[in-house]
Structure 1
Amino acid sequence: MPMFKALAACPDAVVLKPDMAKYVAVARDVRALMRDLTPLVEPVSIDEAFLDLSGTERLHHASAAVSMARLAKRIEEEIGITVSVGLSHNKFLAKMASDLDKPRGFAVIGREETLSFLASKPVSMIWGVGKALETKLAREGITRISQLQKMEEHDLMARFGSMGSRLYRLSRGLDSRHVEPVHETKSISAETTFMRDISDRAELDRILWPLCDKVATRAKAAGLSGSTVVLKLKTADFKTRTRNQTLPDPTQLAEVIYRTASPMLARETTGTSFRLLGVGISGLADGDLADPPDMLDPAATRRAEAERAMDRLRAKFGDKSIVKGRGMKK
């Protein structure tokens, strides 16, 4: 639920702001422990990943279940957070198992019990079955996975198109997807959904700066830079606008991102109300290529040096130790 809807429903709620930098750092530490078990780690989100433990029994002198129990214990002792583990013979079932016993859960779906385990579950537990498809299946009298298990693939495809083939396979616990450990990062972005729709240009611009700062912080932490700045807006009627501008050189500086995104934002603020604002960089390159000295614009070089000096102070004294004037609340 978007925060503005939550506050409309509960105006007296106390809202604790997220600490994304902390979450990213902890996620990185957790994945380092995962990679001690296997190099085949596929991050799905900041707090979720698939691991392929095939062939690791000899290396760790333990079954996959024991290895995962040890990992969960190590994460709790060394990092201080709890995790839930789902173990099975493919990604679909492993994901389903991980949701069975939260928090601090540990569930295993064995190959032999797959069909019987799935049979009693609602169709909504199948990956890809959202509210709309669940309603459509219910109209056909299909509410349990056991009903799908009794149907032929061609019948399901005749009723539900290509989704019918997926329903046929997943209802039987069949999933041929592999764990893919290498995912090239294509962009770095940050966005926020407002508690109320905003049309005022100055207010939107004030919101833009901290988003640019977040993108720059993430790019620097990842050792990456971007050659294109991307602005994202979502109107009050949920229509998305995306604008982008390519830079002469890749950047990882908040000031450069802001000075590129702000004019793009100004062109879009013509009275339209927006419910979301986002900014990012794409066309990623190595961070060493970022922001070379500009002999034709000494002021740009001074701004870059100032931002790097701020980065050093923040690293020593904390993120809030020094901010730009435009980053202060009105």
Structure 2
Amino acid sequence: MAPLNAAVKVRPIDANAGPKDKDRHNKLYAGNVDPDWTVGSVTNGGYALALVLEACMQFQSTTSHVDPIHITAHFLRATVPSPFTVRVRTVKIGAGFTNLTADFMQEGMTKIMTHAIFGLNGPSPTDKLNLSLNPPSPYARRHPLHSHPSQAPLKPMDPRWRFHEYVKCTEETEIRSRNSPDHPKRTNSSTVGGGGLEWGSWLELVDKSERITNPALAFLVDIFSNTPTLLPRSERPGLEISWFPTMTLSIEFKNKIPPPSSSHADRTVGIYSSGSFMTPPQGRHDVYVEVWSAPTNIGEGDPRENWRDDQVCLAVATQMALALPMEVNERKGRLSFTKL
């Protein structure tokens, strides 16, 4: 029962573990899944991955590679509010990067398998090339949201997200309108490429003690409207109230999180997502997500001219998810609790 940063708590099982351990490349961490960070009866996948990432960051905290660069997760079984352990193991230590594996375990079973890459997220003194694609380059990706967070209208959050009291979001009407049946983006037999659906929002962690952190980004890349829900009803016959469990999730951490300032909010990010495919089995669909820094928290400040120039992409993510009846979510939660 806590805000996100307080709910992402992981501790080494051996509190006296140190660099002289015989097995310093293989450590075990433990914690409890907070019951507020669930969708229905099942833990939100991004929150569960945040717990794994926190364990990996603690594991790497005394090394020369302290920043997460990339993490890929395979969700094997539903996670629920109960105790967990994470086993982190070093696979390879190189000059610029360290590769880890980390397994999230509950009820005597591995529920999430991950592979993580750590390094230093920023310019390296050993780099002979300082390659980047940032403004003012005409090829640079620009902030994808239309509204400044001070002017964006609030949108009610899905009550099945039990954490809805800890976050608030806005509506990006310009992006949502591009999904309409009569929009020029709709395709036909003469179209080359194109298609798909989009979504965008400012999302704020409400509690004043919150901050955007790398584990928080693991949660935030999993907060969006899924492709099936963005379709008009005529294009999703038979889809009722549904659960969209994540099967795989990969995150690349693009830039360091800017410290809070007059140009960067402390608790708010911009989220843009898109999806292009939905196929059998089980409504399998793809999602691409970008998380960007924000100039202010929602409803605060005023738009400054060229405010987008100061913002950076913090992370990009891709995932494969399913579309299942909500009763499957409830059943998995009940089955897990009967085992505890």
Task: Report the TM range for the smaller structure's normalisation.
Answer: under 0.3
Larger radius of gyration: 1
Normalised to the residue count of structure 1, the TM-score between the two structures is 0.21
Name the structure with the higher helix share.
Answer: 1
Larger RCO of the pair (alpha carbons < 8 Å, separation 6+)? 2
Normalised to the residue count of structure 2, the TM-score between the two structures is 0.21
Name the structure with the higher strand share.
Answer: 2
